[in-house]
Amino acid sequence: CDGVDITPRIKELKLHCILFHNITYYAGGTIPWGSEVTADSVKPSCCDGLIEVLGFTTATLAALQMGGKGERLAQCSQVNVTTYKAIPMQVDGEPCLLAPSHISLTFHSKVPMLRREKKIACTPNLIRRNTRTDKRDSQVQSTSLIVHLPVIVVGRHDYDTYKDAIERLKDTAFEIGVISLESESDLDVARALIQKLLDDHPCLPYEPGKEWRFLDYVTNAEEGTFRVSRAQERVQSVSDICNPDECLLILDDAFPSITTRSAAIGSDLVFAPPVGAPQPQHTLMQRRISETLRIVLSSEAQETHL
């Protein structure tokens, strides 16, 4: 290990097997290296470029799943192993017999990886805050992606009618704006941004409230679209309920139904901002609503365009 011969120590300890790894957890969550930091060893990490070398006797190997620790042999960047007899082993699940060999282990390279946090519904807020604090203290660079996500709102009647057909449901929606946030942000973060959009919007066709709900159209896409309870907003992320490349869908009972008010949509829904209000940049959804009067016939399979 890094030029140091540890063969005599292996023979002295009468080890049953030797483990080489460069990760913290092994074999379903056990930590054979341990978390103690000494003068000549540090806590294992997949980013430090070091390989941990541990030895196990038959007793310590059996106790590994119960929290047992291995015998620390070395922590190095390069390992050379020389075998003098044939060793039975498996390669990709297939049995083989390894002839006497010279094996060299080195830390090859590392690349940024995307990691998705596991969402646990029963996790207390205090634990979640501590987790976020630990993440901020970590030296590993964050790989979260900032997405620009259009937010569209649908009415209750339209949702009840088209909740099993997401594309038809989107046709009855109105885009209220675009929010920018990390794709793994919790829904309560997205709620604050969306509520600000609703409060500051100059030309909404209805009076929005604060009792709107998120709609999940990706978890069980084959079964339809489902409402997300307010209690789940702290434990679910934006990417859990929507496609970040498309849009974020919300349900507001106050939003007028397009299917039930199609005859009066031209007079009831006013999309022009008040006089003196700044002119917002029109999005694709707003231009489509402004330029096309769309009547969605709930009893037909096709749409009628006027």
pLDDT in tens, 164-173: 888 888 888 8
Kindly report each contact of residues 110-119 with a partner whose C-beta sits within 8 Å and lies 24 or more positions away, as own/partner. 110/46, 110/47, 110/49, 112/141, 112/143, 113/143, 114/143, 115/143, 116/184, 116/239, 117/184, 117/237, 119/235, 119/236, 119/237, 119/240
Task: Tell me the pLDDT tens digit for each residue of 230-285.
Answer: 888 888 888 888 888 888 999 998 888 776 665 454 555 555 555 555 555 555 45
Please state, in angstroms and rounded to a whole number, the distance separating the CA atoms of residues 80 and 78: 7
- Which is nearest to 205 in space by CA: 265, 145, 135? 265
Mean pLDDT of 212-227: 87
- Which is nearest to 162 in space by CA: 215, 224, 227, 220? 224
Terminal Cα-to-Cα distance of the chain (whole angstroms): 78
